[in-house]
Amino acid sequence: MILYYDVCAFIILILIIMSCVLKKMFHGRNNGLFYLMMLVIMLSTIADFGAGYMKDYGVRSDINHTVTYMWHYIYFFTHNLILPSYLPFIYSNIGMWHEFEKNKKVRAIWYASMIINTAGLVVNMFYPFIFYVDEKLQYYRMRGILMFYINAGLFMLFEIAVILKYRSIIRKDKFIVMLLLYPIIMIGIVVQAFMPDHLVEMFMISVALLLFSLIIRREEEMTDPMTGARSYNVAHEHIRNVLATGTPVYILLIKMVNFKNIRLYLGQQLLSTFLREQSSKFGAFARYNSLEEDIYYLEDGLFAVISETMDGEAVKKLAVQIKNYYSDTLDVEGFTVMINSRLCILRCPEDIDNYNTLYSFCISFERILPDTKDVMFYPDYVDNREFRIKSELDEIIDRAISYKSFELFYQPIYSILEKRFVAAEALIRIRDEIYGLISPGMFIEAAEISGAIHAIGDFVLEDVCRFISENDFDELGLKCIEINMSTSQCIEMNLVEKVAFLLKKYKLDASRLNLEITESAVDFDPDVVDQNITRLHEMGINFALDDYGTGYSNVKRVTTLPVEIVKLDKSFVDGVDDPKMWIMVQDTVKMLKEMGRKVLVEGVEEEKVVHKFTELGADYIQGCEYLQGYYFCRPLPEKDFLEFMKMQVK
């Protein structure tokens, strides 16, 4: 017998195991099933070598005769387990473990295959119809061995059918390698059948396993290098498979809300150490609660634990354990860290069965759900209108863009000097077919993140131009309409061309438009923004600086940009009863006036506030020119706004 093939097979298997150990691939069902398959193949290889060795080098004796039989029985028993051990590994790897556990047909085929093979070996002990070993330690195959080949062939076809059935959810390279195992095994069987002295079958199987490890179990691609958890891409693949197959899973989302501050505080190197500790701790907590855990890192301080358990209480206990763990400060190599965490549990596909909805929820759930220190459960909020809107914002915005279901409302702006309404601010709304009217505070940020803000901005620009062109503004007493410009719009390279085209299309005087920009937009890309503002201003368009006073206010920007109006944020209004705050308000207004800017106060809701700012002096030296807020009028739909303005000029 040529035994070198078995020796090579054994060496390959040892190398594969060493590689797995060095990569710390210990936890999880996939690893457990892989090691089980490795054990079966290794025992089969050792037994194959032992039987061949006894045939060529064994001395005839009763003991060696028994030992030879033992090696052959171990070989056949373990060899017949190779395909059955591969089947659960297939189901686990493609995310269909629940199918393997609950499908009675699959389990029946699995058990039947092993029972038939084992029964055949037991019968062979009394009636040698599969193989026997003579007194010279020579091994002979009998016709009954065909039972093993037929059983293996049918089982192989069943496994191939399973792989083909779920090919749409299997990564292409994984699909190819999973199928490749079978022709490699067949080649080994055929070669050994025609050349019995060449024990190549186990060598071929070990080569297939090596290929499997190199391509499918590439830990460096599966693992996030910073955290040691499963990577972002693997999480996406897992979630897609879960939803495509209907696999019931619990997903526990763990978000460090103050992650940006933690990153700045620790620095990159300590941050990596910290995140690895968190990943390891979550895994330990999961195992403590008897959960088959997969820990994923979805970036920006967001972890996800995806578990196929049906024990919701175990998942809840895990969440509470993590929440309690974060209730105290943590030590990271001498640095004290306090985690502001948000945790949410949901079930798929029961709670969410759509990938886009689930992905959107995962990356924004800490903003969508109410602020609470308790563990949150998706079903508790699913019927809440605001929650449903926030969790489906991307779809709602896409629907609004497709069906043009945006609507502009207009809020009048009051002139203190002229004692009348002289302008209005255009405010976008979505009138959704499912959720009705949705305010910009709920969808603008999401639109900026997704990039849909460009389409929304284009709609506002054009609809305002249409509105102005269809109405006699002089008769209404209006000078202009103010339009909020997003940061993304301000840096558009073709913004000037867009506006020029609309002015020409609707035959408008450029002074009818007043574009509102924010300090953050100006600072985002100063060169591009400055160029756009300058060119638009040269066309005759006026500008207002919106939300002045929120955060860091760059006075230099106010002086250098061609801004006609500065809009004081509502925070100024809220502090007018505070003497110290009122001094600051007065000084701010005075400073802006001395710069030659007009001042508009936003958020005016009470009569006392109107009097307060009116008393500053409605002139162009030290007082405010304009007031805007609910005290005068709420934002109105176009038709209602026109009626309102007509009533004012009578």
CA distance 87 to 76: 18
CA distances from 282 to 219, 242, 636 (A): 19, 21, 51
pLDDT in tens, 59-72: 888 898 889 899 99
CA distance 344 to 320: 10
Residue type, 289: N
User: Where on the phi/psi map is residue 563: left (φ > 0), alpha (ψ -120 to 50), or beta?
Assistant: beta
pLDDT in tens, 463-498: 999 999 999 998 999 999 999 998 888 888 899 999
- The domains found in the chain, sorted by start residue, are 4-218 (1.20.1070.10), 223-391 (3.30.70.270), 393-648 (3.20.20.450)
CA distance 458 to 469: 17
Please work out, in degrees rounded to the nearest 5, the angle formed at the alpha carbon of residue 287 by the alpha carbons of 285 and 289: 70
Burial of 184 (0-12, 13-18, 19+ CB in 10 A): middle
Q: Which residues pair with 484 in a beta bridge?
A: 516
Q: Which residues of the chain have pLDDT under 70?
A: 1, 24, 26-27, 216-222, 521-524, 549-558, 617-622, 650
pLDDT at 462: 94
pLDDT at 421: 94
Whats the size of the chain, residue-wise?
650
pLDDT at 221: 57
Contact 499, 541 (CB under 8 A): yes
What is the 3-class SS of 280-334, one letter each residue?
HHHHHHHHHCCCCEEEEECCCCEEEEEECCCCHHHHHHHHHHHHHHCCCCEEECC
Q: Where are the beta strands (DSSP E) in 28-181?
A: 131-133, 139-141
